[in-house]
Amino acid sequence: MSSYVTTPHHHHHHGCCSGSRRLQAPAPPARPRLVVAAAARHVALPPRRAVASRAMSAEAPLGVAPAAAEEEMAAVVDEMAEEAAVWCAVHGLVVGDRAEPRSGTIPGVGLVHAPFALLPTRFPASFWKQARELAPIFNDLVDRVSLDGEFLQDSLSRTRQVDDFTSRLLDIHAKMMEVNKEEDIRLGLHRSDYMLDSGTNSLLQIELNTISSSFPGLSSLVSELHRTLLNRHGKVLGLDSKRIPQNWAATQFAEALSMAWTEFNNKRDGQTVSVVYFRAGYSPNDYPSEAEWRARLLMEQSSAIKCPSISYHLVGTKKIQQELAKPNILERFLNNKEDIAKLRKCFAGLWSLDNEEIVKTAIEKPDLFVLKPQREGGGNNIYGYDLRETLVRLQKEQGEALAAYILMQRIFPRASLTHLVQGGVCFEDLTISELGIFGAYLRNKDKVVLNNQCGYLMRTKVSSSNEGGVAAGFAVLDSILLTDEYGLET
């Protein structure tokens, strides 16, 4: 999904949610004043302890004064939640409000703060460095795979038979191959999503998004919100605002689009479309009639730079992710052995349902796996008992239906108590987090104009929820607080 806060996109996970891409908040609570409520489920800690526990656990590596007493902490939480909600309104950290019928139809009407975590999530600096270093390698990989049209067609040939949407995308791709259309200038705005797996103490990739990689705008703002809060209250909390990495995702994506326009260099400015950016087009719902498919084909046939091109779009499918994880496949596209090793290190287990041994294991131990259909957007992944039932049914049916899914190792991030603010209400819950690293890539024939990591998206979600769509109300926007320890402390 790709995309959790994105929404609905697992996209965008098992976390795995990518996001889909419109953030909307739930109906606001009846009480007008900002309230701080403790989640009733958590009786292990007294209701006010979440911020304290988050702060104190970070205290040792940060070398700041010890966290304050509980009463003081409760007052600080109240104050911060209110300040943060005001900051969101002033700085545009807002989304459409589903409770307001005119929201989305009249500009400026029906907005509410985006759901957010009150404090940044601790994240080991070693894993942060690893995730950032992977971005340019993945950018390069997407570009190289996109040039191998036969690999894309062959890898997705069985998916085509069971998934009409993928089939239509492949038809457009095949037409481009027939006319040997070359995209001299190629622009990719990507986001690779990761979780820290507590079992293996490793950073594992959830998915790679190559179309409408959402949230560069809001994620940049959340980092700023947290920095502002810690500049004011950091001493009391024992947290240092300098530990929050700068996040220029929105600016850097805008610069990449601008650089693509410059490379296109069309003198008849104003008469020719130079760059097409797809904010939609990744979901079957975006094509209600043949007219939309005709438009997609027309754009693909044009001389404009497409972000993404049809081949970049296909590289982002879950089936291609699974194919690239097979032995010796990365070597087909990349020469640098160190880069290949870095990618392999972050790959979670990925299998097609042709693998009878792994299907058998998944039926026996369904909690160790996630079943993912070849679909963008959250709300589609299958877990636990449902996963077992689905596999048993698919085995009985045999046939091509198996090709509509991939099996993925389930990642188990460490859960922590967190203060979440949604619809003006601050509450505590156990959460897990997912880090997305934005990357921009621009190439003109043989010249790589740009290949960078461009900031990040941190989504934090209530750990009892399988899907991550922020818009779906399961996840909040977050930022990270870098810590020195290597790996996850227990």
Give CA–CA dist 452/441, Å, rounded: 7
Q: Is 356 annotated as a binding residue?
A: no
Which of these is catalytic: 3, 146, 155, 209?
209
Which of these is catalytic: 183, 263, 376, 428?
376
Q: Is 451 annotated as a binding residue?
A: no
214 is catalytic: yes
Q: Is 380 annotated as a binding residue?
A: yes
Q: Is 467 annotated as a binding residue?
A: yes
Which of these is catalytic: 19, 110, 188, 377?
377
Q: Is 377 annotated as a binding residue?
A: yes
Q: Is 411 annotated as a binding residue?
A: yes
Q: What's at 411, amino acid-wise?
A: I
Q: Is 252 annotated as a binding residue?
A: no
Which of these is catalytic: 214, 283, 463, 465?
214
Which of these is catalytic: 54, 160, 186, 191?
191
Q: Is 437 annotated as a binding residue?
A: no
Which of these is catalytic: 48, 296, 319, 372?
372
Which of these is catalytic: 227, 318, 319, 443?
318
Q: What's at 471, amino acid-wise?
A: A
Q: Is 383 annotated as a binding residue?
A: yes
Q: Is 80 annotated as a binding residue?
A: no
Q: Is 466 annotated as a binding residue?
A: no
41 is catalytic: no
Q: Is 373 annotated as a binding residue?
A: yes
Burial status of residue 3 (CB atoms within 10 A of its CB: 0-12, 13-18, 19 or more): buried
444 is catalytic: no
Q: Is 453 annotated as a binding residue?
A: no
Q: Is 372 annotated as a binding residue?
A: yes
274 is catalytic: no
207 is catalytic: yes
Which of these is catalytic: 459, 465, 466, 469?
459
CB atoms within 10 A of CB 65: 12
**Cβ neighbours of residue 244 closer than 8 Å, sequence gap 6 or more:** 120, 223, 226, 227, 230, 479, 480, 481, 482
223 is catalytic: no
Task: Considering only the C-alpha atoms of the chain, give the largest distance between any 2 of them, rounded to a whole number of Å.
Answer: 71
Give CA–CA dist 316/455, Å, rounded: 20
Q: Is 101 annotated as a binding residue?
A: no
Selection from 163, 197, 159, 193 nearest residue 9 by Cα: 193
377 is catalytic: yes
Q: Give kind and range of the element (H or E) at residue 440.
A: strand 425-444
How many residues in the chain? 490
Give CA–CA dist 151/157, Å, rounded: 10
**Cβ neighbours of residue 149 closer than 8 Å, sequence gap 6 or more:** 173, 176, 177, 311
209 is catalytic: yes
Which of these is catalytic: 183, 207, 300, 428?
207
Binding residue numbers for substrate: 191, 246, 459
Binding residue numbers: 191, 207, 209, 246, 318, 372-381, 383, 408-411, 434, 459, 461, 467
Binding residue numbers for Mg(2+): 207, 209, 376
Active site amino acids = 191, 207, 209, 214, 318, 372, 376-377, 459
Binding residue numbers for ATP: 207, 318, 372-381, 383, 408-411, 434, 461, 467
